[in-house]
Chain A
Amino acid sequence: MTKTSINRRKFVKGISAAGGYTIAAPYVKTAYSAGKLSLGIWSHWIPGADNVLENILVSWGEKNGVEVKVDFITSIGNKLLLTAQAESRAKTGHDVFSMGVWMTSMFKNKLEPLDDVVEDIIAKHGPLLDSAKYYAHLDGHWRSAPAPTGSFFDSMVSRIDLFKEHAGIDLQTLFPANNKRDANRINDWNWESFLIAAEKLYNAGKPFGGTIAATPDSRWLAALFTSYGAELVNKDGEITVDSDEVRQVLEFMSKLTQFMPDSVYAWDDSSNNRWLISGEGSAIFNPASAWAVAKRDNPEIAKKLWHHDVPRGPKGRYRPDNSQFWGLWDFAENKSAAKDLLRYIAERHVVDACVKASKGYDIPLIISHFNNNKTWVEASPPDGVLYNYPMIGDEKPVAVAHPAPPEIASQISTNYVIANLTARVTAKGQSFKKAISWAENELEGIMR
């Protein structure tokens, strides 16, 4: 048996080698060497869309040595918001969490700034929609990054046959499923001409329906307000609800509601879908889900639907917007992996796969991702039904209560001040002065 002696030189050499292995160890790629990452993600309405997203996320995890765990959380009954409230207070839970529309401003102090991530995304793919920036770029920092699912526009979804027969409007000619639009004719598609059409459809027993209740789908009213230049609070945070523009919109709504069903004051987010799918209604403001459900439940109605531009107001044509983001909690344990994932989900092929899985419901927040997406072009029946669902004309996406500072706009939105202000005049019969005075009181409260 030979005796091995360790002299000083050998000892130092051994230590250096061991140190080298220790330093090199994290870079050795093993199954889940980059740790775990848990995600609390909004559960999609469209069946199958969650599975596609989960596969994308898990595959990314496998390639990058991250153990990805995804929990899909429904927003029904505010479960997503309640979970976010609980996690943010307990400072434990998922690393990455879905931030629906206003949740970024609600939780901005509890989210990790994502300037590096979003700036990388913009550098690679180009700018985001202005409305997306409005929701997520707060106090000079990106607080959340674009989500690959869940964002949508409320386009108009109308019955081709009823508009042609009763209102004399050929929607497929006015908003064709190609790029040969007649700008002059579309220019005449404004709220006043819509009012005339709404009256004719009402008289034919097939009215237009849009909720005027305390529910998120009432955001069509906010787009209407913006198109008249009616601001409740201006960009400097001053209350400006007592204005001629607001009175003008209320005047318009007093006329339009005469041709709408009385039940709109109690509608929830699914009421307008049922209204259209049942064949009772002629038009609603909605994403592509009403058509997708009609395709399954009432195919005859689905064949007669057409997504198209909203009417223009004196100050422009604005489409209600609902953007979704993913945020990173400040207590997240694996921030570097989470940031890499957020960059990855902004990739073109990921967004395209999600749009396809959602049957065209989802819209990207990165402008370049709208180009050459076949899902909206190929959707049918009828052929071209979703061609105009992503905005291709002069419409602009707009958030509720824009241009108020986002923190104030979020409160205006979640307290449904616009819907209640409108309903006070149109349902309760209050004078403009009294209703506006109520709104001023509410807004003072919101801005405390």
Chain B
Amino acid sequence: MKNNALYIWLRQKPRIAFFMCLPLILMVLCLIIYPFIYSIFLSMLNKAETKFVGIGNYLFLFKRETFWLVVQQSIFFALVAVFFKALIGFIAAHSINAIPSKGQRKWRGMLLIPWVIPPALSTLGWWWLFEPTYSALNWFLKEISLPAIPWLSETFWARFSIILVNIWVGAPFFLIMYLAALKSIPEDLYEAASIDGANYRQKLYYITLPMMKNIISITILFSIIVTFANFDIVRVLTRGGPIDTTHLFATYAFRVGIESGDIPLGASVSLFMFPILAILAFIILRSVRKRALEV
């Protein structure tokens, strides 16, 4: 009788749903929640990890000149890279959408290549192009009688290089998302607009962009988070140099935490971006929800 009651209890839909979700919940708990809480705990210890210092490490970072340089660079890197990724992705998506559907597949495949290659590997390829002394690009510039460019040894060009590679890797993601969004816009809207005499620009402003607003917001949010947390491109290309002028949160956290052995401070650096991204995510997701409710 007792077993029977348990069986009935387990057979109820909410219970079944819970047990089906349990592997995922456990994964999230073990691989996301636990490391996150543990890193918060670590960031509140002293250098030797023997004493609780509360928010001491965060307050300490506020006084560090190099840390503020890293904050500025991370924001600059993320904003510029995401802007160009979104712009290039948007233009590329429109261009592909405009060609006959038969030829679209090969273009989609080719343009996705930078996104599917492991970034550490493709960045190594870029490093060969930018190599400080034997740059392949500089060899080409020399062949056409142009001066060599210090791709990785001067701050401006080093920043340009890491942003360029990030755009190269990330733009295909925008392309594929925007292409999917473009395909979901009903053709009737464009036809009706054409009948009303709307030109290309008007169609873009009054049909395409409003219909893509949500996907643009979500891709930008996602990309800002990923770009902010970027590690491999900077690590492979510049290691944060020259003079720490290309460090991002993740590479600086690695330098401080792993290479210098100050794990609590490294954890504080990496967690510093969490509130910034959380606020950004809140604002963007709220506007997306608002628009969804309006629809």
- A, B from the same assembly: yes
Chain A residue with Cβ nearest B47: A448
Supply 17 A–B pairs (Cβ within 8 Å), ascending by A.
A81-B259, A85-B263, A102-B261, A109-B48, A213-B241, A214-B239, A261-B133, A265-B154, A266-B151, A266-B238, A271-B132, A271-B133, A275-B133, A414-B255, A414-B261, A423-B242, A441-B65
Decide if B258 touches A81 in the complex (CB within 8 Å).
yes
The verdict on A445 contacting B134 (CB below 8 Å), with A78-B258, A415-B255, A420-B244 known, is: no
Cβ of A436 to closest chain B Cβ, rounded Å: 13
Are B240 and A214 neighbours in the complex by a CB distance under 8 Å? Answer: yes
**A249-282 vs B, Cβ < 8 Å mask (1 yes, 0 no):** 0000000000001111111100100110010100
With a 10 A CB-CB cut-off, give which of A266, A275, A410, A415 has the most chain B CB atoms. Answer: A266
User: Which residues of B44-64 have CB atoms within 8 Å of chain A's CB atoms?
Assistant: 47-48, 60, 63-64
| B243 adjacent to A428 (CB under 8 Å) | yes
Complex Cα spacing A262 to B147, Å: 13
- List B contacts of A137 (CB < 8 A): none
Is B217 an interface residue when CB atoms closer than 8 A count as contact?
Answer: no
User: Cα distance A164–B255 when bound, in Å?
Assistant: 42
Instruction: From B48, B239, B243, give the contact of A427 (CB < 8 A).
Output: B243
A82–B60 touching, CB < 8 Å: no
Q: Tell yes or no: A442 within 8 A of B by CB.
A: yes
Option from A106, A274, A420, A438 in Cβ contact (under 8 Å) with B261: A106
Residues of B within 8 A of A (CB): 47-48, 60, 63-66, 132-134, 150-155, 158, 238-244, 255-256, 258-263
How far apart are the CA atoms of A271 and B135 in the complex, in Å?
12
Tell me, rounded to whole Å, the shortest Cβ–Cβ distance linking B242 to chain A.
Answer: 4
Interface residues of A in 389-423 (CB under 8 A from B): 410-411, 414-415, 420, 423
Contact call A267/B243, Cβ cutoff below 8 A: no
CB pair A266 B60 closer than 8 Å: no
Residues in chain A near residue B152, CB distance under 8 A: 263, 266
Bound together, the chains give a CA A423 to CA B241 distance in angstroms of: 10
Main secondary structure of the interface of A (DSSP, over half): helix
Q: Is the CB of B153 within 8 A of A264?
A: yes
**A102-B261, A264-B153, A420-B243 given. 4 additional CB < 8 A pairs?**
A214-B239, A414-B260, A441-B65, A442-B66
| B261 nearest in chain A by CB position | A106
Q: Of all chain A residues, which has the CB nearest B260? A: A414
Partner of B134, one of A107, A268, A274: A274
Q: A271-B132, A271-B133, A274-B133 are in contact. Are A441 and B238 (CB under 8 A)?
A: no
Give the docked Cα–Cα distance between A264 and B243 (Å): 12
Residue A375 at the chain B interface, CB threshold 8 Å: no
Nearest-neighbour CB distance to chain B for A340, whole angstroms, equals 29
Q: Is A424 an interface residue (CB 8 A)?
A: yes
Asked if A64 is at the interface of the complex by the 8 Å CB criterion, the answer is no
Shortest distance between the CB of A109 and any CB in chain B (Å):
7
B261 and A263 within 8 A (CB):
no
Question: CA separation between A441 and B63, bound complex, in Å?
Answer: 9
| Least distance between A422 CB and chain B CB atoms (Å) | 10
- Evaluate contact between A214 and B132: CB separation under 8 angstroms: no
Contact B239 A268 (CB under 8 A): yes
